[in-house]
Amino acid sequence: MHNQLANKFKAKQAVIGIVGLGYVGLPLAIRYSSIGFKVIGLDIDEDKVRKINSGESYIEHICASKITSSIEQGLEATTDFTKASDCDALILCVPTPLNKYREPDLSYVTNTTDALLPYLRKGQVLSLESTTYPGTTEEELLPRIESTGLIVGENVYLVYSPEREDPGNPDFETNTIPKVCGGHTAHCLAVGIALYSPAIDKIVPVSSTKVAEMTKLLENIHRAVNIGLVNEMKIVADKMGIDIFEVIDAAATKPFGFTPYYPGPGLGGHCIPIDPFYLTWKAREYGISTRFIELSGEVNQAMPAYVIEKLTAGLNDSEKSLKGSNVLILGIAYKKNVDDMRESPSVEIMELLVEKGVKIAYSDPHVAVFPKMREHSFDLSSEPLTQENLARFDAVVLATDHSAFDYELIRQHAKLIVDTRGKYRQAEQHIIKA
């Protein structure tokens, strides 16, 4: 049976089901549609489904024309999970956040799998792409699937293939990023390779779903630890009167043994601030303390408070108090040139400032209105960056260095600038490097 299913993917006669149409799922759905597959997108968000079927985009870096083209090629978005039975592949692209105790929240994965169970059938493959701890696929998905009477590896197939999207990166597209894939059995892996090979230029097969799960964590923990290191060095360098950005640029001229990482106001995005804690949590089951990972997490989580310390000091030098001041946050997306707000350190800075009695506003060319988020809420819209508007704030905090900002206008007319991104290298009295 696995050969028959694999051949359907090779011949592009299979129906691809994408479950979760966000930053990962929507590009994947567009990719499969563009190469001739029939694609069904499943999502519980009626507004997303409506927009897709109308040819609208709700993700800035995905243009509406790509969605329209996919619709013309047969992409169908729906909230009707009975459509899952029409699919030969079900690719799960749902969130895996942390709960309030900084522990893994797999409810999106398990609830979505449970919703699909009545519609699973022989001859399907289920692929999980959500980042999670090693063992999730075997411990959570496998028993659920086999509770239906299906036998994984014989008449239904289970793989884990972590997403590697980088929103806003112009150098990579869905098909050009190599795809790691691990199967529960050898037949599962063969089907997984056949599933992804038509859509992705390079498949990287690994020996198990656990290896694939750990691979994704290593990728993101590597970044989190190195960013924690450079954030800590920034604090030390600042005390010594050294520009850490100049140091990094100089170190980066070494042609071997060094990779530049840059400091900032904290970690953002759905992966890097969260994924290390998935491994930390799972490691406790084996009696292991992941001290190195946890230390970097502590450093990165402390950065928003560090930024506020620098802001407070700057206002004090101007004989102003933090409480009651008017502060403009420049950039609230988690990284430059995107509209992605997930785990943005800018939002934490805003919340800390409000707690301290600060009147806040923000300006972000990519986020016109502060979006509805799971844990955060501000009734704010983006402020225009004009000479008059800048002058009415006691300070501006450069949190996300979007290319669209007029940095010279900001430099000339802001009373106080707290620069967390190293955009202002020239020392000036009203610019604080944070």
Model confidence over 339-368: pLDDT tens digits?
999 889 999 999 999 999 999 999 999 999
Report residue 133 CA to chain centroid gap.
Answer: 16
Residue 103 — very low, low, confident or very high, per pLDDT cuts 50/70/90?
confident
Q: Which superfamily, per CATH, for 246-433?
A: NAD(P)-binding Rossmann-like Domain (3.40.50.720)
The predicted model scores a pTM of 0.92
Matching residue, tokens 């301290």: 356
Query: Out of 93, 181, 188, 271, which one is annotated catalytic?
Result: 271
Residue 424 — very low, low, confident or very high, per pLDDT cuts 50/70/90?
very high
**Buried b or exposed e, range 63-73, using 16+ CB within 10 angstroms:** eeebbbebbeb
For 212-264, write each residue's pLDDT tens digit.
999 999 999 999 999 999 999 999 999 999 999 999 999 999 999 999 999 99
Q: What single-letter DSSP state applies at residue 18?
A: E
Which H/E stretch holds residue 127?
A: strand 124-128
CA–CA dist 247, 257 (Å, integer): 16
CATH class, 2-208 region: alpha beta
Confidence at residue 410, expressed as pLDDT on a 0 to 100 scale: 97
Residue type, 195: L
Residue 288 has pLDDT above 80, yes or no: yes
Confidence at residue 169, expressed as pLDDT on a 0 to 100 scale: 82
Domain ranges of the chain: 2-208, 246-433
2-208 with 246-433: one CATH topology? yes
- Whether 271 sits among the annotated catalytic residues: the reply is yes
CA–CA dist 425, 28 (Å, integer): 40
Report residue 382 CA to chain centroid gap.
Answer: 22
